[in-house]
Copies of this chain bind each other. A is one copy, B any other.
Amino acid sequence: MKLLIVGSVAVDTIDTPFGSVKRALGGSATYASVASSYFTKTGIVGVVGNDFEKKHINLLKKQGVDLDGLQVDPSGKTFHWSGYYEGDMNEAITRDTELNVFEKFNPVIPDAYKKTPFVMLGNIHPALQLNVLEQIKKPRMVLCDTMNFWITSAPQIVEQVFRKVDIICINDGEAKLFCNTSSLPKAAAELLKLGAKRVIIKKGAHGVNLYGKKSFFSLPAIPLTKVKDPTGAGDSFAGGTIGYLANCKTDTEDNYRRGLLNGTVLASYCVENFSCRKTVSLKKTDINKRVKMLKEFNRIPAMK
């Protein structure tokens, strides 16, 4: 296996102005692995409860995602997030979070996964992210995500994680919060000093930025006028990006850029329907079509 993704596997109840779903498949590891599955063989490490439906398992398996690392905890129910979006859906409003079996999640990496060269540490407690890294033998590349909650409640542990990874992939608000600045270039420079090779700043509708020590790359989000549900966009982006990279022989700036293109495309499909309904049904030609669109969005003509 090429890529291991650790994160939440959840069921989500979501209302948006364009519809609702109840207990649909969700979670960071789910969205990320569905996205990465288009590029590389992916396995997930996570936990679900005694109520997790067989159809979700089947869907992930059909997508080619390896589930040997998915623990089933019979003592409780699956992590359940309930929330909604209003207006143009720029912000998720949480109605209820039932951690359930996720509260006591202890990621155990199966032996067969321990030499996986690429690792994505999805948004879970940073102490668990460290715990996962200790179980993996010399990965070639590690990408981590996190969230405001951990930056506020456990900043030192988040920093320990940041110091051990190759790619820090967080959103603009989180970068500014962690670095205590409202300048993204300053935040990115500070994050790079912790040792990562690249910092990826996710800016939602404003797209993404890739910062290296001596490089900078910018990519817009695909401008969509029909967004049904933004849940999972960031995870689909990260999964698509690291999934693409896992299939590359070298870690060059060009390959990072290609990874971001594919991640951006997966995110754009993700938001067009609830859960991973859209991202599980893509063809390679769908992905390539939007990669081509992005190239045109960024195209700079020769100067006269």
Contacts and interface: CB of A to CB of B under 8 A. Distances in A.
Given A217-B297, A297-B217, A298-B300, A225 B189 contact: yes
A112 interface: no
A88 B206 contact: no
Contact of A206 (B206, B261, B296, B303): B206
A131 interface: no
A304 B203 CA distance: 26
A295 interface: yes
Could you tell me the dominant secondary structure of chain A's interface residues?
A: mixed
A294 interface: yes
A181 B225 CA distance: 11
- Copies of this protein in the complex: 2
Given A186-B225, A301-B258, A209 B220 contact: yes
A18 interface: no
B304 A300 contact: no
Nearest to A295: B300
Interface string A170-208: 000000000001111110110000000000000101110
A153 interface: no
A153 to B, nearest CB: 24
